[in-house]
Structure 1
Amino acid sequence: MGRHNSPDPYAPDAQSRPRARRRTIAIATVLVLGVATGTGVAARNGLLSFGGSCEEDAIRLDVVASPDMAPVLREEAEHARDQDVTSDGRCLDVRVQAQEAYKVADTLRDGGHPDFEVWVPDSDLWVDRASLGGNDVPLTAAGNIASSPVTMGMVPSAAESVGWPQKQYSWAELTAIATEDDKLRLGSADPARSATGLLALTKIGASAAQADKPGSDTQVAATAKVLAQRTSDSDAQALETVARDDSGTEQGNPRRNQALIVSEQAAFTHNASASEEGQLELFYPEDGAPQLDYPFTLVDEPQLSTDESRAALRFMTLLSEDKGRGILEKHGFRSGAGDPSDQLVAAAGGRAPQPFADATAEPPAPKEVQSTLGLWTITVQSARLTTVVDVSNSMGELVPSRGESRLEVTKASLIQALDQFTPEDEIGVWEFSTLLDGENDYKKLVPTQRLGDRAGKGSTQRERLTDAYSGLQPKPGYTGLYDTALAAYKDAQKTYVKGKFNALVILTDGANQDPGSITRSALVGELKRLTDPKRPVPLIAIAVGPDANKDEVKEIAAATGGSGHQIDDPAQMQEVILKAIIAAGGN
């Protein structure tokens, strides 16, 4: 599960990413679609002059938009200047900057203070992502100004080999073709940074589940692993990886992609400048193409003046007028006015009988998106987990349905869970009770290291963990949960490894029973103080058996951005741990 890499040496380097938060209030709905080319340096910097009647009293609006939409908004802003378009008698001075949506979302989520009044990302997924943080800047959805379906594009030779345009496929079938071997090389933008990639991967999961195929989760994970090897940091960089001729081996690079998860609009732009052999032909999956929906979003709307709010909405409505729709469609975006034009679809690489007009998919539920993002996170990032296991006396009690003790069943589940991790993942184990190691309620058994690491010519870390889990035995004593949780969390923060998915997993069968420990309220307060959004370590706490306190573990885990769970049978532990890790990864 190593970090993904772009397969194309010509692609720019990745940039670091921040995080974000949002509160959405829908106040209007305006549907319009289109694309527009850039308008030159003066327009990009908002330096075009007004006519004499507007020069002194224009309303300035700063707009940040996704790179594909920014040229459209610049062209519309230039048109508004040229025509002295007004809002309440004052001209519009709209200045547009392009920025990747994930960067804006993450900046807001990290508490960054915006210096713009309007944000137009390519998907409302980013507005949702902005809401996950602690920033109080409200984001007010005013409507969607364009849309573009997410499809799979292939260079002509690859498309012909799988029956384009007559042959129709579901998402599950398309990805199965593209991932069954390396003959058809499939690329994508990073789903953690690209709505195109994330929507497609979410739809692939839904498609596999809908097909009622056994092991659909496994298929999605396998797809994610394949994509992770051929992932670019942005949609624009992903397009740079497409083969420039039918061989895909030009310029000594045999790794160019023959297939790409791509929006219709991005394919439209690519095809306008690509050679005939390097153009994309689009498959529109028959079970629905998810949509990029370009929400026009007011930023910190309560702090905007009435003039600014009205001017922003006036500018948005321009995109629903004939001129605005023409700009959008010229750049490959769909408007909300009926079916897309045959000319637009053909230029993007679509052709009948591909279902380009009627196979749009319903937006995925936020829970589906979060789960997919979590799966992606733990697929492309190595995990770093410390498991902390309760070995207090009560863990020796029998599980009635199994005839084994709680600890025996727990050990078997932990050993089985190891099979889900790769040699690049790092895992360690502590045990805890009360006064287990001098004054400490806990004891470190195996430090957190790569499962593939070998101590000299001795055993691997995986083998050492298996031995340590197998050797766990109930100890005299009670459940020293609070002091152990705090010590383990401090250690996990101290040993945090950047670029990995760091988490702490605590397994216990009871509430805290150490009268000399820190109180629960003090523990929760200290965990909140220690939590660092730039070094996230979610705590996943699992309460096992009827005596465990579900509310207690939930409250403790929530303080770190993690989750608490209660299970009756320790045999459920493996499934719960993996699902909890995926959910934490999605956050």
Structure 2
Amino acid sequence: MSVVVLIVVAGSFAVFSSREAGCEAKASLSVMADPAVAPALTAVAGRVNQDEDACLSVIVNTAPSAVSAMALGGDRSAVLPARADAVILDSSLWLDVAARTAARTGAVPPRRFAGVASSPVTFVRAKGTGGDAGSFAWRSPRFSLRLTDPQRDASGMITLVAARGAAGAGEQGQAGFAGMLRGAQPGERGNVAADPESGLTSLRPDENGKVPVLAVPEQALWRRLRAGDALTAVPSAEQVAPLDFPLVMTGKGKDGQARRFLAAVGSPAGAAELAKVGLRAADGRSAAGVSAVTGLGGTAAAAPAPRPEVLFEALEMWQRMHLGTRMLALIDVSGSMNEQVPGSGRTRMAVTAGEVSGGMALLPDDAEVGVWSFSTGMNGRLPYRELSAISRLGGLRDDGTQRAALQRALGGMRAKPDGDTGLYDSVLAAFRSVKAGYRGDMLNFVLVLTDGRNDFEGGIGEGELLAALKKEYDPARPVQVIGMGFGPGVDLGALERVSGATGGAAYQIRDPRQIRELFRRSAALRVCDDPRSCPAG
């Protein structure tokens, strides 16, 4: 029923029509929220839906932020369980991930509309360990940092980026960060905690006497403490960004509905619902019911957002560290490899083979490695010869393990006195061989070690090689060529162009004895995003 009011003002008439409480048709808003915040939003949506004056109907569904970020970036392999007018992630870093995906797919990159909730990221240890260890610091020898998987968990991603920034710039910074990554999650691949709560339940004293600490959102600590786990937050002066739960609009014409829902979330009743699941309001102020359990008060610090290139450098280095190695070593045995390495009393061939053998000894048993040699006339007209096909180092053969077979092959390598350098044909054949056996759970690459330049008469030229590599390189199944050149006769420019065609890199080392140090110092082929900047001793 309507009430009509007639008002006469200075001879004019104005008619106002007002309705009784309620509305004829409610506006709708569908929300896709990260599981960490979805229960609280569902409760708030229930209040809004029951409020006749709100004239708003809100539906909340849930999807992990990693999946939602892919969908926001236009990746069709990421399927959300329902249509959404708004998506709520647990961290704004996922917006950078989505934007990078959008650059590949041609989608419009998402933009932050507003914050919904927050949860500071804190460092946690098990009670009974490190009671006198003091405050956590990135480079403290008293602590052993643990991370959740930064490719799936925002708190792991936030901590990874913060650690990269703390390591500093240049070679020393990169080496320091590589050291942090190696210590962050020791053991075999697959040993990384998928989420904060599973990581917290697995915290144990470190074998080397250090205190293990895991970086997690306050919400995860709150949950585990309520479950009775013996955990405690570690004081720290390090600045780490909180989870900020950004909302992204995907539906047109829904901004007004979103603002009305956000007003309900930001109300005292909404803040109470957030606190019931261990979260703070968007402004970061501590929630009494949460702080009473975790012991964390104050306002969540707003650390500066990292530049996207810093985020992706850190993520790529992490990925390289935790992917397995699948490598074909292509070793020059041309006549110039018989020249002496100054101060060693040994030939380049002997030193190179010995250093590669020593470097491979540092790789785990699940690494897959093969060895070819190349010069000219190695197998009829072919300039290369397979000494050992790619196989798991710890795998058994009729004559022992693959590792032992490689050591024998390398120990028996001899330079060919009259051999030239059939570099280009050999690189292309090796690239194709690795590509044919590509494994998605490993880094697949050809490691080229040479002291010369291509001089194979009748072989392909540089232009033909580059054209073939660019045509056959598949970014979805990447195989990289990484070149190590040593000696005064090496054509580093050609190595750089060849490796660059596959997204790899080439760099010059002072002498072959640095090869093992490259394996040792940073697992250079796995950790360093750009081998030219890897620490070389």
Q: Judge same fold: TM > 0.5, yes or no.
A: yes
Per the TM alignment, residue 448 of structure 1 is displaced from its structure 2 partner at its CA by 1.8
- Match in the other structure for 1:567: 508
Match of 1:152 in 2: 123
1:254-312 deviation digits (Å, cap 9, x = unpaired): xxx9975421022223444x24xx2643224232344323333456xxxx64x246655
3-state SS, counterpart of residue 420 of structure 1 = coil
Q: When the two structures are superposed, what TM-score results if normalisation uses the length of structure 1?
A: 0.67
Matches within 5 A, 1:119-518: 119-130=87-98, 134-142=104-112, 145=115, 146-154=117-125, 157-158=127-128, 162=131, 167-173=134-140, 176-177=142-143, 189-200=148-159, 203=162, 217-218=178-179, 220-225=181-186, 231-238=192-199, 260-272=214-226, 274-275=227-228, 278=229, 280-298=231-249, 305=252, 307-308=253-254, 319=265, 324-335=270-281, 337=283, 339-347=285-293, 349-351=294-296, 362=304, 370=312, 373=315, 376-377=318-319, 380-393=322-335, 395=337, 407=349, 410-456=352-398, 458=399, 460-470=401-411, 471-474=413-416, 476-497=418-439, 499-509=441-451, 512-514=454-456, 516-517=459-460
Q: Which has the larger radius of gyration?
A: 2
**For the structure 1 residues 407 and 328, does the alpha-carbon distance in structure 2 shift closer, same or farther, using more than 3 Å as the test?**
farther
Post-superposition CA distance 1:514-564 (Å, at most 9, x none):
554271453133323xx262x54444344546665556545544554x421
Code of the aligned partner of 1:331: V
Alpha-carbon displacement from aligned partner over 1:172-219 (angstroms, at most 9, x marks no partner):
54x84568xxxxxxx76434422223444555676688999x988546
Q: 1:221, CA displacement in angstroms?
A: 1.2
**In structure 1, what residue type is equivalent to 2:183?**
A
The structure whose RCO (Cα within 8 Å, separation 6+) is larger is 1
User: How far has the Cα of 1:430 moved from its partner?
Assistant: 1.3
Counterparts in 2 of 1:56-135, with a 5 A limit? Answer: 58=27, 60-61=29-30, 63-83=31-51, 94-105=58-69, 111-112=76-77, 116=84, 118-130=86-98, 134-135=104-105
Contact 1:432 1:480 (8 Å CA) reproduced: yes
Gaps of 5+ in 2: 1-21, 205-210, 532-537
Distance change (3 Å), C-alpha of 1:547 and 1:224: same
Cα shift at 1:68: 0.6
Aligned mates of 2:453, 2:99 — CA distance in 1 = 33
SS in 2 for 1:473: coil
Question: 1:525 aligned to 2:470?
Answer: yes
Following TM superposition, by how much is the alpha carbon of 1:427 offset from its aligned partner in structure 2, in angstroms? Answer: 1.5
- Which structure dedicates a bigger proportion of its chain to strand? 2
Alignment match, 1:581:
526
Q: CA deviation at 1:428?
A: 1.3
Gaps of 5+ in 1: 1-50, 180-186, 244-256
Count of matched residue positions in the alignment of Structure 1 and Structure 2: 487
User: Between the two proteins, what is the percent identity of the paired residues?
Assistant: 26
For each residue in 1:415-439, what CA deviation from the matched residue of structure 2 results, as whole angstroms up to 9, or x when unmatched?
3422431223221111223443223
SS, match of residue 286 in structure 2: coil
**What do you get for the CA RMSD once the two structures are aligned?**
4.6
Query: In the alignment, what sits opposite 1:39?
Result: none
When residues 367 and 60 of structure 1 are mapped into structure 2, their CA distance, relative to the original with a 3 A threshold, is closer
- How far, CA to CA, are the matches of 1:110 and 1:140 in structure 2? 13
Distance 1:316 1:510 in 2: 66
CA-to-aligned-CA distance 1:130-189 (integer Å, 9 cap, x gap): 45553222322225613322223345x436x6159xx5333554x84568xxxxxxx764
